[in-house]
Amino acid sequence: MLSFSRARSQGRNTRPLTGGMDYLEPKRKTNVVGRVILVVSLTALCIIMLKHAPSFTSPTAFSRSEEGVTHVLVTGGAGYIGSHAALRLLKDSYRVTIVDNLSRGNLGAVKVLQGLFPEPGRLQFIYADLGDAKAVEKIFSENAFDAVMHFAAVAYVGESTLDPLKYYHNITSNTLVVLEAVARHKVKKLIYSSTCATYGEPDKMPIVEVTPQVPINPYGKAKKMAEDMILDFSKNSDMAVMILRYFNVIGSDPEGRLGEAPKPELREHGRISGACFDAARGVIPGLQVKGTDYKTGDGTCVRDYIDVTDLVDAHVKALEKAKPKNVGIYNVGTGKGRSVKEFVEACKKATGVDIKVDFLPRRPGDYAEVYSDPAKILRDLNWSARFTNLQESLEVAWKWQKTHPHGYASS
């Protein structure tokens, strides 16, 4: 019986050796070695992957503070105003990180900037949505920001009346996400891009910074809510805050590198300058002027048109002058109102095209007359608008439009 049991236990995998010891057959030994090699290979692969993960990479210029270098996060930096601001910052030797989800911005604008400033440590682009709190936290934890210029926002009055919840989410909620990250990571300066739409339709002109804020459309209301959050937070913070309320933006980079290129599906909500240029190029049959019965000189809306080059100059001045534990609130405009009819005539002269104009009823959410008193920003920041000739600003913008008929896709 013992002999039979012994034979069964040996089976096909073992065979007797001198001294009664057993050893594995070559096939079983090969299997074990293969498994060991597999485990070692997988372990090595994991180590390699971990080393290439962000937390294991060597510090980059963007992830560390550097004496004499100011690192600015530009949210919405692929957009019309944000890209011009990034260009100016880069020209002034700032280190720039652009964060944009490209829902309104253009990757082409980022590529132009990358081509102009290819040196390591000057510019990086991060594709992200500011509504994603985890993504925003990751961005702040992996970068050493000295300041934030917060431009990112949907910004069409007409659209805001049709889809108000989009505006409260995109402007107010997303600003809260950014503000929380700024607070956690102790960023020193915040420059907030606000709007004259927070004033609504004041009884007196021109608008000063203490004019009551009574917005009449969701865009203005969402921006005011964002302002209120920032102001409340600043009361118990050492952060330097600047809030810039600017008026109607026109123009483009004088050297023709950047311009305004709204998404085709948003043209009907866009700025009047974009509509004028589309009409001049034949993209649309003519220009629609909505509202001719306002209590203004010629019955059309009156606005304060600020050149984008002047606007970004104001942002840089605000960044330079921002002081810890202080809040600066400034109107950014020319101090002169122009009617829509005046604007259209200037656009006709700038383009050389006799644009067809259709006069239609008012657009919901619009107000009759808005223009600024820029005395405070002149006094405090030594800033004033330089490009105040409406036709000349439109001529510069038109030059870019003609060479970029399909926006940045033309490059």
Catalytic center residues: 219
Nearest to 74 by CA among 142, 151, 137, 144: 151
**Token duo for residue 172:** 């107010």
Q: Please, where are the H alpha helices in 63-106? A: 80-91
* DSSP bridge pairs for 192: 150, 243
Give CA 23 to chain center in angstroms.
69
Surface-to-core class of residue 182, CB atoms within 10 Å of its CB (0-12 exposed, 13-18 middle, 19+ buried): buried
> What's the longest Cα–Cα distance across the chain?
119
Strands (E), 169-312: 189-195, 240-246, 248-250, 287-290, 302-303, 305-307
Count of helix runs (H) and strand runs (E) in the chain: 14, 13
Q: Which amino acid is at 103?
A: S
Residue with token string 């950047």? 258
* DSSP bridge pairs for 242: 191, 328
Residue with token string 């104009």? 357
Tell me the C-alpha distance between 339 and 291, whole Å.
11
In degrees to the nearest 10, what's the CA dihedral of 243, 142, 137, 325? -30
Tell me the C-alpha distance between 102 and 78, whole Å.
7
Q: How far apart are the first and last CA of the chain?
A: 91
Give CA 96 to chain center in angstroms.
12
Tell me the C-alpha distance between 197 and 220, whole Å.
5
**Contact partners, residue 74, CB within 8 Å, separation at least 6:** 82, 85, 86, 89, 96, 97, 98, 99, 149, 151
